[in-house]
Chains A and B, each alone.
Chain A
């Protein structure tokens, strides 16, 4: 069972209170972008076995979106943080590297 701390209301929310929103920190490509960029934005995902950044919504709760860094292999949660964050903040990267010294962002 996945349990994430919602940074918006402070609740330790179990998976059944949450709605998944897919990969976080996607760059949106719209009108004026190339076909390749738009295809990448729509379809191409990291899908890693390991560290992953995700969007979640506290649907059965405060209703807010937030972001989580976790390991898709072990279900270990490194951090949850504000959805209004264009890239993983330093404290999240530090929390990941403390447990995965060999990991890097562009893996």
Chain B
């Protein structure tokens, strides 16, 4: 696994803060999400239940997000990822399922501040108004020209995941969208 994250924790300070989230363990599980074995493997590895459609559930040391009808994203500490993958792969050895460590394939960003929703909303074809998008929802979409997944990770804080290869592009558009003076004030 890589010892540095995509942008090594780059930060753009301002009223809206953009931060590359550093090293994070990310695991993709593909299989039948209704299967008892899959549910048990997720529970044993994270202590969490398999989330429903477009939901993300968060515990003390892990998050589990519904990515598609047959795909989960499991977020753990970076150094925990290899062990978690091995344990889940073993638990699902006889199941039609795959578990892959995708930590190095992705980059994580956090956008925080009172206008964080707006900064992201300018880049994605998604209604991020508080009445439409709330905590516990994982929304896969695009940010400008690249795929991304967005969820609310705190009051006035959104987290985003994109492919590592486009991390610099995503940081650039977030920084521009979040720049002081670029607030729209519509939310």
Which A residues are within 8 Å of any B CB, using their own CB? 8-11, 13-14, 16-17, 59-64
Query: Chain B: which residue is nearest A64 at the CB level?
Result: B68
**B14 sits at the interface (CB 8 A):** no
**B147 sits at the interface (CB 8 A):** yes
With a 10 A CB-CB cut-off, give which of B67, B71, B140, B142 has the most chain A CB atoms: B140
Find out whether the CB atom of B141 lies under 8 angstroms from the CB atom of A62.
Answer: no
Contact partner, A9, options B69, B125, B142, Cβ 8 Å: B69
Shortest distance from the beta carbon of A48 to any chain B beta carbon, whole Å: 28
Complex CA distance for A64 and B140, rounded to whole angstroms:
12
Contact partner, A64, options B53, B69, B141, B142, Cβ 8 Å: B69
Given A17-B142, A60-B140, A60-B147, decide whether A8 and B125 contact each other with a Cβ distance below 8 A: no
The interface size bin for chain B is: 10 to 19
Which B residues are within 8 Å of any A CB, using their own CB? 53-54, 67-69, 71, 125, 139-142, 147
With a 10 A CB-CB cut-off, give which of A16, A59, A62 has the most chain B CB atoms: A62
Shortest distance from the beta carbon of B46 to any chain A beta carbon, whole Å: 21
28 A–B contacts, CB within 8 A, in A order: A8-B69, A9-B54, A9-B68, A9-B69, A9-B140, A10-B53, A10-B54, A11-B54, A11-B139, A14-B125, A16-B125, A16-B142, A17-B141, A17-B142, A59-B147, A60-B140, A60-B141, A60-B142, A60-B147, A61-B140, A61-B141, A62-B67, A62-B68, A62-B140, A63-B71, A63-B140, A64-B68, A64-B69
Query: Chain B: which residue is nearest A12 at the CB level?
Result: B127
